């Protein structure tokens, strides 16, 4: 038997950063995101014997380990090892041999939630193999705990839930890791218009999101008024974005993105930089009405809203800046698993 899974990456449209502790615990966070047709994939092939093979095709990394109840966390394909360790600890209770192959359509540090989405995909493959009794909320929460508690990785909570649920969601985050996912019933024509006008641009750079998120968290702990007020404003933008999508005010999204750009830069040092500002201003000059950095900031992907037919001029301007405009489509389904 072969057990496969795939989970979609996401575009954070509004509220990004308010899902990060301690802000979400103190004030409650809110985010609006949408999954796209770029994925993290995982394939598991059970093996006889006592060996574990882990292959990350996109990273050109491979390790072979002896199957034990707990694999060492040492910087080498730790996401996969972290999922295995938790599956053994909570469910299987003994080591087992297998070959795990993974691939992600976007590079790490790109701002599309690739690391968390990969954890969800790997966990989904194990759920398929062992028929684990986990629903969508269970899988997303467990993936979050693996990253934040077991692997001690900095980050928020939206990525695991977006990858698991899929579609367009308004998410609310509260203390004690409570999360409510509200799927939005956006009319098809509004989604088509948003997909048509929203440009996804890869800056050809990546960044260590954990450092930016750490600064953001420290600003909240230190009660930095400027940073906290910026997060309050971003949370308000997620509500406005939800209303625009549901009411069909798609062109109003450009202004919401522009407002979010200004507030997000105030959350922590390193979110924006002169190169990103140059890209942003070039897009506005060419006809975009707003945009944002996807994810924690500092590099990776950016998105821009260009109404009417302005996207062609914006794409032309962006292509001169050394990055790549990426084709994409919205994906309505979240984590998918199957057996061959």
Indicate which residues carry an active-site annotation: 159
- Contact indicator for 291, 323 with CB cutoff of 8 Å: no
CA–CA gap between residue 18 and residue 238 (Å, rounded): 10
CA–CA gap between residue 302 and residue 296 (Å, rounded): 11
CA–CA gap between residue 140 and residue 41 (Å, rounded): 16
According to DSSP, the β-strands at 98-104 and 51-56 are parallel
Torsion angle in degrees (nearest 10) through CA of 117, 329, 186, 28 = 30
According to DSSP, the β-strands at 290-293 and 336-339 are unpaired
Sign of CA dihedral 310, 316, 321, 322: positive
């Amino acid at each position: 038997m072969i057990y496969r899974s795939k989970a979609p990456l996401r575009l954070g449209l509004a509220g990004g950063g308010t899902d990060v502790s301690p802000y979400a615990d103190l004030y409650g966070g809110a985010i609006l995101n949408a999954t796209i047709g770029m994925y993290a994939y995982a394939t598991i092939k059970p093996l006889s014997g006592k060996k574990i093979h882990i292959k990350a095709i996109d990273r050109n990394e491979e390790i072979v380990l002896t199957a034990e109840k707990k694999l060492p966390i040492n910087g080498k394909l730790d996401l996969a090892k972290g999922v295995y360790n938790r599956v053994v600890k909570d469910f299987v209770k003994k080591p087992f041999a297998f070959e795990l192959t993974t691939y992600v359509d976007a590079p790490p540090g790109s701002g599309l939630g690739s690391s968390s989405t990969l954890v969800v995909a790997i966990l989904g493959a194990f759920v398929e193999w062992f028929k684990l009794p986990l629903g969508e909320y269970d899988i997303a929460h467990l993936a979050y705990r693996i990253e934040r508690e077991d692997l001690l990785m900095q980050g928020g909570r939206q990525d695991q839930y977006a990858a698991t649920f899929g579609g367009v969601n308004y998410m609310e985050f509260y203390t004690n890791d409570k999360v409510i996912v509200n799927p939005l019933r956006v009319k098809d024509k509004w989604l088509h218009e948003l997909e048509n006008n929203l440009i996804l641009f890869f800056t050809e750079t990546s960044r260590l999101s954990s450092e930016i998120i750490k600064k953001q968290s420290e600003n909240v702990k230190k009660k930095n008024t400027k940073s906290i007020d910026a997060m309050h404003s971003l949370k308000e933008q997620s509500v406005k974005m939800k209303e625009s999508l549901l009411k069909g005010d798609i062109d109003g999204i450009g202004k919401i993105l522009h407002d979010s750009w200004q507030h997000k830069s105030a959350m922590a040092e390193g979110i924006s930089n002169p190169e990103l500002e140059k890209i942003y201003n070039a897009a506005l000059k060419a006809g975009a009405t707003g945009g944002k950095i996807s994810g924690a900031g500092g590099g990776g992907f950016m998105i821009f809203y260009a109404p009417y037919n302005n996207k062609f001029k914006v794409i032309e301007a962006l292509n001169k800046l050394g990055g790549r405009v990426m084709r994409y489509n919205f994906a309505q389904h979240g984590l998918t698993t199957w057996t061959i």
